[in-house]
Chains A and B, each alone.
Chain A
Amino acid sequence: GAGVSQTPSNKVTEKGKYVELRCDPISGHTALYWYRQSLGQGPEFLIYFQGTGAADDSGLPNDRFFAVRPEGSVSTLKIQRTERGDSAVYLCASSLMGTDNEQFFGPGTRLTVL
């Protein structure tokens, strides 16, 4: 069956530009998570959706970052006025119900800000 998919797999942009990263979770998974993984580090939590609503966005680093999940399935992570420090691999994960269920990770989007 299909796993979590993320597009694009790679994104190169210039400082100051706007980018959108897309995540397609496993069908039927109500919980969706975004993490960011910098080189040589473990993934760091950004935001968690339960259904359509952001249940916890405490990991978003600043107001340039925003994420939506309008129909409770696909999610888009949006980054405005990108900075070189935003360069990282952005990971999406989904789980069946949240609370202690296994999170299945996508392959990630590698974002490079020049």
Chain B
Amino acid sequence: GNSVTQMEGPVTLSEEAFLTINCTYTATGYPSLFWYVQYPGEGLQLLLKATKADDKGSNKGFEATYRKETTSFHLEKGSVQVSDSAVYFCALLLSYNTDKLIFGTGTRLQVFP
């Protein structure tokens, strides 16, 4: 079936450290891939997306590259800030499958000054 696997959290970093959150997927067909972020007390927000292989999504200093050969969409940021502390969800969408998003379990990031 279609699924998303994320690294378990929490991920704890000091400010300005490099961040990687791993995400791999299983899908029939050619999914679009997303990272959503949930800040404390707020709703889910789209962080970035990529719709085809080798595309790179980027936003707010975060990047992720759609790797079809490794079925991965790892999230990276070169220098995290305390304000990046949140829960990050990797998700896929199969357009032929009525646009429902399939989410991973989420990874909590805690950044300390």
Interface members, chain A 78-111 (any B CB < 8 Å): 91, 93, 95, 98-100, 102-108
The residues of B that contact A105 with a CB separation of less than 8 Å are: 36, 43-45
Q: With the chains together, A113 CA to B76 CA distance in Å?
A: 39
Q: With the chains together, A105 CA to B95 CA distance in Å?
A: 19
Q: With the chains together, A45 CA to B44 CA distance in Å?
A: 14
Q: Contact flags (1/0) for B1-44 with A, using CB distance below 8 Å?
A: 00010000000000000000000000000001000100000111
The residues of A that contact B66 with a CB separation of less than 8 Å are: none
Is A59 on the interface with B (CB-CB < 8 A)? yes
Q: Nearest-CB distance from B4 to chain A (Å)?
A: 8
B positions within 8 Å CB-CB of A: 4, 32, 36, 42-46, 49, 51, 89, 91, 93, 95, 98-106
Interface members, chain A 18-69 (any B CB < 8 Å): 31, 33, 35, 40-45, 48, 55-56, 59
Assess the A56–B100 pair: CB atoms within 8 A. Answer: yes
Assess the B42–A107 pair: CB atoms within 8 A. Answer: yes
Q: Contact flags (1/0) for A4-26 with B, using CB distance below 8 Å?
A: 10000000000000000000000
Given A31-B99, A33-B100, A55-B98; A41-B46 close (CB under 8 Å): no
The residues of B that contact A95 with a CB separation of less than 8 Å are: 99
Assess the A107–B43 pair: CB atoms within 8 A. Answer: yes
